[in-house]
Amino acid sequence: MIDKQISSCAEAVADVFDGATVMIGGFGEAGSPIELIHALIDQGARDLTVVNNNTGSGEVGLAALIKAERVSKMICSYPRTTNSTVFPVLYKSGKTKLELVPQGTLAERIRAGGAGIPAFYTPTSVGTMLSEGKEHRTIDGREYVLERGLTADFAFIKGSVADRHGNIIYNKTARNFAPIMATAGRQTIVQAAKVVDPGELDPETIVTPGIFVQGVVHVAKPAHESEQVAQGVSYP
């Protein structure tokens, strides 16, 4: 029987090794798998390359992972956000490197990685400093830049409902990067607020088919980053 359920977040992140590349779902706080990130802080893996659109806020979730100096490199499109106070300090001190990627290129790199496509041409960033040093090619009279597909050792995402096969649906704009990160992570773990039996999710509405998911953790009442930041919570 296929049962991808894992009993705790600690167990779900246990395999993460030093130097791993980790995709973390979310756009700001929407879709951020905060309990899995906190488990990763407890677990202790270092020198991580983290792929996320942002760099977290306050001192919880992704920002707390960065603050704990576990992240040697961020791959993201927008590291500057209200309440994002942790990353600037570590970036300026050189402890955390930054690979800045246009948001659509970031999404497409993840999609391509998950689809087995090693690289693709896009007009995004042509003529700007973000295309410097990259291969260019003119196709049908327009100039494009070559961008590489992106995969990861682990992907940690948040769903609203999952089943033991790993099928997932999401909540509103919390979906964002999760479905594509699920395809690009070799070990994709979803934390879901509700876990149901196979068949309970309507096959017509499943967003992420279970083939892309290796682990399902039930987190019944996930914390919301903005509430924790407003309360001044600092993890751990």
Alpha-carbon distance 124 to 110, whole Å? 15
138 touches another protein by CB under 8 A: no
Element (H, E) at 226: helix 225-230
The 142-148 sheet, strands edge to edge: 119-122, 142-148, 136-139
149 touches another protein by CB under 8 A: no
Stretch that binds another protein, among 36-44, 97-105, 148-156, 212-220 (CB under 8 A): 97-105
SS (H, E, C) 163-193: ECCCCEECCHHHCCCHHHHHHHEEEEEEEEE
92 touches another protein by CB under 8 A: yes
CA dist 100 → 19, 104, 106 (Å): 19, 12, 9
Q: Are 5 and 195 in contact (CB under 8 A)?
A: yes
Residue selected from 10, 68, 98, 196 as contacting another protein according to rule CB under 8 A:
98
Alpha-carbon distance 55 to 42, whole Å? 19
Binding mask 170-189 for another protein (x = CB under 8 A): xxxxxxxxxxx---------
Residue selected from 10, 46, 73, 78 as contacting another protein according to rule CB under 8 A:
78
Nearer to another protein, 15 or 78 (CB): 78
User: Hey, CA dihedral for 124, 92, 69, 65, is it positive or negative?
Assistant: negative
Nearer to another protein, 72 or 103 (CB): 103
Binding mask 6-45 for another protein (x = CB under 8 A): ---------------------xxxxx--------------
Contact set with another protein (CB under 8 A): 27-31, 53, 77-82, 87-88, 91-92, 98, 100-105, 107-108, 110-111, 122-130, 170-180, 207, 224-227
